Amino acid sequence: MKLLPFITLLILSLAGYSQGKLANPILPGFYPDPSIIKVESDYYLINSTFSYFPGIPIFHSKDLNTWTQVGNAIDRPSQMDFMGERLTRGLFAPTINYNKGTYYITCTDIDNIGNFVLTATNPAGPWSDPVPIPEVRGIDPSLFFEGEEAYIIYNSEAPDNKPHYDGHRTVRMYAFDAKTLKVKGQEIQLVNGGVDITKKPVWIEGPHIYKRNGYYYLLAAEGGTSVNHTQVAFRSDKVTGPYVPYEKNPILTQKGLDPNRKHPVTSTGHADLVDGPDGQTYAVFLGVRPYEGDYYNTGRETFIAPVSWTNNWPVINPDFKEVQYAYQVTYSTKTAGVQNGNFKVKHDLTGKKDLSLLFLRTQPGSWYQPGKKGLALSLRPETVMGTANPAFVGRRQQHLVCETSTTMDFKPASTSEKAGLVILQDENHFYFIGKSVNQGGKQVLQLFKGDTEQAGMKLITEQVLPATAAAVSLKIAANNDQYRFFYALKGAEWKQLGEVMDGKFLSTKVAGGFLGSLFGLYATSSGEASTNQALFTTLEYSGDDLIYK
């Protein structure tokens, strides 16, 4: 009998499992506003994507630690697109639920149809076209099911639409028909302002309702999705309220901790609860990893922490003040794969579907041509500085210390034709290393920076290339707030183009909005007509953060 634990551990080790570890962030990089469900022994998690396409990634896990993307809920332009919208608009804070064989996603399309619901019988898809819910005014809708009844809960306007202060919001509810996907009855206000309206709490949002031990728990974020972000809890013996706030709120925050602590996690909140394989409750929530102060380029990421139920109140991360980069658990977890920890990825550009790649606002058209030799991008007049669908395909920056490289075959025919590698925060905040020709007709490598004043880009430096050099390798290396740009001709070593560039320019603090940075393959004719193409034969990424050593 004594051999059984050893044999079990040996089998788990050979299968790629370790005994009891959750590694944070479980989804590094631009994966904000997580929502999670458990269906039998399977976990499904989704995130916001704003104006990127496809929208709302769907991840699957068996152990809460290793996640595999299985689909995207918005993967057809017939469902919706985001043409004409800024990147930081689009889809806000989706929530996933399951009831009696049907999966539901509720979400907000902030500038168009407003709140809507999608359904599917398989979480990998296909998902239905969005069904608008016009009566639900606000953002961050979620569903709660109990027996034959269902409810939709959401952030809404202040009472009578007359806020007493900036950020004064409410949490409201309707009964919901899960078959017709329509609200029923009258709207009910559950929370006004937040935990204590006399203190003028702001941005009560991301609400979820759970039932446990005879109580209904309403959890929501408060304080805004930055350094003052918190998670708070309310409780009632009726689903419709009244809800009483926990006297020891907040149940999660990193506000007030030493700003000089090592490897800080900040801005935590927007949590969702789920029971783990061990029966313990866990919370997934967003957080950020700044490299200095409130500067971070990787966006809001998905973290996990255990939850205790103290006097029938949930408390997230109960044994620590600081969110931990690893939690020991009593069940076996698979070792970190290509979604957390340090890892390397070589993206397939030959035509196999890569669910993690993102486009701007809608799916790619004929300009996107994968083939046996690699990915050919036709040069389009559209640019990343506009609000259309340029020839851009991106992947998230998932580490503070990382690099992305590509090899490209491209023969520019004019000064307007450019192709290469971009690190993109938004339409105005980016760096671009690309190949073109200069006014003298010579092939050059150019380094550009987004121009926030002129809504364009400005040339930082350029390097003349041999006239015969068609193929060139490009690399962007990030080290916290330092970004370096490299090139290499066939058979030659890497050479740096220009000086070290300021990474804070790519931070959310400088750019504003809700996004994280993406590395992207990019080809443009800068407003001119063109029939030219750039052929990208590789796209590789590697991240090596010190926290995972």
Two tokens, residue 347: 């993206």
Provide the 3-class DSSP secondary structure of residue 137. Answer: coil
- Tell me the β-bridge partners of 409: 471, 535
| Identified catalytic residue from 205, 301, 426, 545 | 205
How many C-alpha atoms does 35 have within 13 Å on its Cβ side?
A: 30
Contacts 24+ apart (CB under 8 A), 244-253: 245/195, 245/196, 246/313, 248/313, 248/315, 249/195, 250/195, 250/222, 251/219, 251/313, 251/314, 251/315, 251/316, 252/283, 252/285, 252/305, 252/315, 252/316, 252/317, 253/223, 253/229
217, 244 contact by CB (below 8 A):
no
| Identified catalytic residue from 33, 140, 301, 403 | 33
Q: What are phi and psi of 510, to 5 degrees?
A: -80, -45
How many C-alpha atoms does 169 have within 13 Å on its Cβ side?
A: 21
Two tokens, residue 260: 């000089």
Two tokens, residue 254: 């990193």
- Tell me the β-bridge partners of 303: 285
Catalytic residue status for 545:
no
Q: What is the dihedral of CA 207, 211, 216, 220, to 10 degrees?
A: -20
178, 148 contact by CB (below 8 A):
no
R_g of the chain, CA atoms, integer Å: 24
Q: Show the CA angle centred on residue 531, arms to residues 526 and 537, nearest 5°.
A: 90
Pairing of β 501-502 and β 170-177: unpaired
Catalytic residue status for 75:
no
359, 393 contact by CB (below 8 A):
yes
Q: What span, in angstroms and rounded, lies between the C-alpha atoms of 215 and 221? A: 20
Q: What span, in angstroms and rounded, lies between the C-alpha atoms of 538 and 519? A: 13
224, 215 contact by CB (below 8 A):
no
Close Cβ partners of 362 (under 8 Å, ≥ 6 residues apart): 53, 77, 81, 82, 83, 389
Distance of CA 297 to the CA centre of its chain: 12
Q: What span, in angstroms and rounded, lies between the C-alpha atoms of 121 and 264? A: 40
Q: Show the CA angle centred on residue 318, arms to residues 315 and 323, nearest 5°.
A: 105
Q: What are phi and psi of 224, to 5 degrees?
A: 85, 150
Q: What are phi and psi of 325, to 5 degrees?
A: -85, -10
Tell me which residues are annotated as active site.
Answer: 33, 205
